[in-house]
Structure 1
Amino acid sequence: MSFPQLLTPEEKLAQGKTALGIRDVVVLCGSMRFAADMAEVAIQESVAGALVLKPDCNMKIAHPLWADPVEAEALKVRLDDQHKQKIRLADRVIVVGDYIGDSTRGEIAYARELGKPIRFTDPEVDPGEPGGDPAAEETAR
């Protein structure tokens, strides 16, 4: 007797998005110093038909929710985890800006682990994939 193959979580997500008519989810990554650039890329992608996910809390700007340094550090950890969730949901990733810091480098590595196509608004900052060919990344759109 043969048993049906169980779907992976990724396959279940893909089927769910298809069933819901969600065809293109893009996540924006990059330093919040490029918040204005992210907003412009979000507009361009939205007009092109994509569902855009991006960082929404700019902790470089003072706000009561992260005024306390201890609470701010805990919040940063939670927001980083939320951003990884956005990367998991996305069909593709766009890295915005001409600077790649440690957080963005980690997001790029995570997206590559998951096999997500990545486009850089400034291709010269692509840190490359260890042992891989950065030219092989998706550059469409």
Structure 2
Amino acid sequence: MSHPQLFTPEEKLADAKKLSNLPRIIAICGSTRFMTEMNEADLRETEAGRIVVKPGCDLKSPHELWADPVEAEALKARLDDLHRAKIRLADEVLVVGDYIGDSTRAEIAYARSLGKPVRFTYPEVDPDAPDQ
């Protein structure tokens, strides 16, 4: 007796995106010190017909929403969770900038653990690239 195949949430999402005929979704990752470069990458990816998700807050820039250090720490945790959700939603990850810090390194590892292709604006900073 055969049993119906159970699909993972990732498989269901991929199927729904395919059935909806959605363009490729790109998650932009990198240090927020590269927000200008992220905006440029967003522009170029959008012009190429792709949907872009990227960090929406730069906690290194002053703003009333994260002026209180306790609130800022709580917000950072929520934003990290939100960014991981963006990575899950994406078909591919684009890492922007010529520096990879701990947070970005963790995002790259997370994306790769999900089988997401990861590309870099500076391929030489890929933490998993073989040494030259």
TM-score, L = length of structure 2: 0.95
Q: Tell me how far apart the structure 1 counterparts of residues 95 and 111 of structure 2 sit (CA, whole Å).
A: 11
Aligned to 1:48: 48
Q: Tell me how far apart the structure 2 counterparts of residues 106 and 26 of structure 1 sit (CA, whole Å).
A: 17
Could you list the runs of 5+ residues in structure 2 that have no partner in the other structure?
Answer: none
Aligned to 1:86: 86
Equivalent residues, number: 130
Q: Tell me how far apart the structure 1 counterparts of residues 36 and 4 of structure 2 sit (CA, whole Å).
A: 48
Could you list the runs of 5+ residues in structure 1 that have no partner in the other structure?
Answer: 129-133, 136-141
Which amino acid counterpart does residue 118 of structure 1 have in structure 2? V
Which amino acid counterpart does residue 72 of structure 2 have in structure 1? A
Q: Tell me how far apart the structure 1 counterparts of residues 110 and 11 of structure 2 sit (CA, whole Å).
A: 18
TM-score, L = length of structure 1: 0.89
Deviation at 1:21, TM superposition (A): 1.6
Compute the RMSD of aligned alpha carbons.
Answer: 0.9
Higher relative contact order (CA 8 A, sep 6+): 2
Per-residue CA deviations over 1:19-43 (Å, capped at 9, x if unaligned) read 2221300000000111000001101
Identity of aligned residues (%): 63
Deviation at 1:107, TM superposition (A): 0.3
5 Å matches for 1:58-137?
58-128=58-128, 134=129
Q: Tell me how far apart the structure 2 counterparts of residues 7 and 111 of structure 1 sit (CA, whole Å).
A: 20
Aligned to 2:25: 25
- Runs of 4+ with deviation above 6 angstroms: none
